[in-house]
């Protein structure tokens, strides 16, 4: 029997998977997933088959390879930045070993199908490492090739995997993996809570305020890094994957949207939830990580090569997406809860 063509999403049970999978299903992808944990029911509803297993091991991947014709891979599974600092050896195993397994799978599938296999890799602003505040201010909008000296295990893992992908796409014997990477800023989703990222202070502040809980921010008020609303991240991923390969001049692309300081972010939260209680107690480790990340990214190549322009600036993200959706999520539609 011919193998069924499918799109594989790893790490499908996470924040991005939750937003991406309905969009892939709407675009008629037959989706299979691989995650350590069973998928939440609302995500599972869109999925043809889910595998529960470890991306850094080969059992489930072998079964997938024998059963399906994998046409595209969205490789989301990873340990995020704060979790990776806590368990660096595990981070290397999952983030690097898992990515290598996916590149191998893509390569083998391309060989058996006689066609390149597309692989989306979500990288991060953690691949950058600025040495001090003066340099961070000077290189306010950083380009892809600048300051690639990551200061975290997560950033090292992601940057190395970007290089592996570029190698497989452009220099290996087969060149059979059509590797495409977006370097995402901190993402803010109204529908899911972040876990283990160093940019989580933004979304955590918002979700705490909506629940009427006090929030102690783990970075200082003047900390500035780029953020993006989840729908723009998913649009960026889908636009990059849909682009004609001939228009792509590089394998890794910044995408950006807005970059408030922690205090500016808090002002937006307070405008929506005036009784929000936000205090600041910088955690030295997490502060140092944010200080090494750029204040903003230059995403001109993403704009010119695959036409990605974010739909949400900071105000529109709050007014049209985040505030209405978190109010619905926490049942605040009476107009006064959370205040
Ligand atoms: N969320 C962000 O702000 C952000 C920013 C930049 C890049 N990214 C990247 O995007 C990707 C997805 O991020 P997310 O926010 O959805 O993460 P998440 O932590 O919400 O989800 C990650 C998923 O991967 C799964 N996973 C972890 N280890 C695994 C393993 N060994 N085998 C199989 N599955 C495993 C987890 O169970 C989880 O469902 C990651 O690669 C991350 O590095 C995220």
Looking at the fold, whether 11 and 149 belong to one and the same domain comes out as yes
Average pLDDT over residues 156-181: 98
Residue 110 in domain: yes
Which residue in the block uniquely carries the two structure tokens 């953020």? 227
Looking at the fold, whether 179 and 325 belong to one and the same domain comes out as no
Looking at the fold, whether 19 and 63 belong to one and the same domain comes out as yes
Average pLDDT over residues 187-198: 87
pTM passes above 0.85: yes
Instruction: Find the residues whose C-beta lies inside 6 A of ligand 1.
Output: 11, 13-17, 34-37, 54-56, 76-80, 94, 98, 122, 124, 184, 186-187, 195-197, 199
- Closest C-alpha to ligand 1, atom 7: 124
- Closest C-alpha to ligand 1, atom 9: 122
Task: Determine whether 154 is an active site residue.
Answer: yes
Cα–Cα distance, 226 to 254 (Å, whole number)? 11
Please give the pLDDT value at position 215: 97
Nearest to 326 by CA among 312, 337, 310: 337
What range does the domain containing 22 cover?
4-187+229-254
pLDDT band at residue 47 under the 50/70/90 scheme: very high
Looking at the fold, whether 29 and 148 belong to one and the same domain comes out as yes
Cα–Cα distance, 189 to 207 (Å, whole number)? 10
Residue 338 in domain: no
Cα–Cα distance, 233 to 122 (Å, whole number)? 10
Ligand 1 atom showing the smallest separation from residue 194 Cα: 20
Domain boundary among 204, 238, 254: 254
Residue 303 in domain: no
Ligand 1 binding pocket mutation candidate from 8, 13, 16, 56 (most atoms within 8 A of CB): 16
Looking at the fold, whether 204 and 108 belong to one and the same domain comes out as no
- Provide CB contacts within 8 A for 334, sequence distance 6+: none
Looking at the fold, whether 161 and 271 belong to one and the same domain comes out as no
Please give the pLDDT value at position 104: 98
Looking at the fold, whether 206 and 102 belong to one and the same domain comes out as no
Cα–Cα distance, 65 to 89 (Å, whole number)? 27
- Choosing from 128, 154, 215, 312, which is the catalytic residue? 154
Cα–Cα distance, 12 to 35 (Å, whole number)? 6
Please give the pLDDT value at position 82: 87
- CA–CA distance from 338 to each of 123, 150, 324 (Å)? 35, 39, 13
Nearest to 77 by CA among 62, 99, 57, 93: 99
List, for residues 194-244, the tens digit of each pLDDT value.
887 899 999 999 999 999 999 999 999 999 999 999 999 999 999 999 999
Instruction: Quote the ligand 1 centre to 80 CA distance (angstroms).
Output: 6
Angle at 50 between CA 230 and CA 6, to 5 degrees: 80
List, for residues 121-130, the tens digit of each pLDDT value.
999 999 999 9
Looking at the fold, whether 18 and 148 belong to one and the same domain comes out as yes
- Closest C-alpha to ligand 1, atom 22: 14
- What's the total number of domains in the chain? 2
């Amino acid at each position: 029997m011919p193998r069924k063509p499918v799109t594989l999403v790893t790490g499908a049970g996470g924040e991005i998977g939750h937003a991406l999978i309905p969009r892939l299903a709407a675009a008629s992808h037959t989706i299979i997933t691989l995650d350590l944990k069973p998928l939440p029911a609302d995500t599972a509803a869109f999925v043809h088959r889910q595998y529960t297993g470890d991306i850094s091991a080969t059992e489930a991947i072998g079964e997938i390879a024998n059963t399906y014709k994998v046409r595209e891979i969205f490789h989301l599974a990873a340990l995020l930045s704060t979790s990776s600092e806590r368990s660096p050896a595990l981070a290397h195993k999952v983030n690097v070993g898992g990515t290598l397994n996916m590149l191998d799978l893509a390569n083998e599938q391309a060989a058996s199908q006689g066609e390149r296999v597309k692989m989306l890799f979500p990288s991060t602003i953690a691949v950058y490492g600025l040495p001090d505040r003066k340099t961070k201010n000077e290189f306010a909008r950083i380009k892809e090739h600048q300051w690639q000296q990551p200061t975290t295990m997560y950033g090292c893992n992601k940057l190395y995997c970007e290089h592996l992908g570029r190698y497989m796409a452009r220099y290996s014997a087969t060149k059979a993996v059509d590797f495409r990477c977006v370097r995402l800023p901190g993402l803010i989703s109204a529908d899911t809570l972040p876990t283990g990222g160093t940019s989580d202070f933004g979304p955590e502040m918002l979700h705490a305020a909506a629940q009427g809980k006090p929030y102690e921010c783990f970075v200082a008020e003047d900390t500035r890094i780029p953020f993006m609303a989840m729908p723009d991240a998913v649009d960026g991923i889908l636009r990059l994957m849909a682009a004609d390969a001939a228009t792509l001049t590089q394998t890794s692309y910044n995408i950006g949207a807005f970059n408030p300081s922690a205090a500016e972010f808090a002002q937006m939260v307070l405008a929506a939830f005036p009784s929000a209680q936000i205090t600041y107690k910088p955690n030295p480790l997490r502060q140092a990580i944010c200080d090494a990340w750029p204040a903003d990214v230059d995403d001109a190549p993403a704009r010119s090569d695959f036409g990605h322009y974010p739909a949400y600036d900071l105000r529109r993200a709050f007014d049209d997406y985040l505030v209405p959706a978190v109010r619905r999520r926490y049942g605040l539609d009476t107009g006064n809860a959370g205040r």
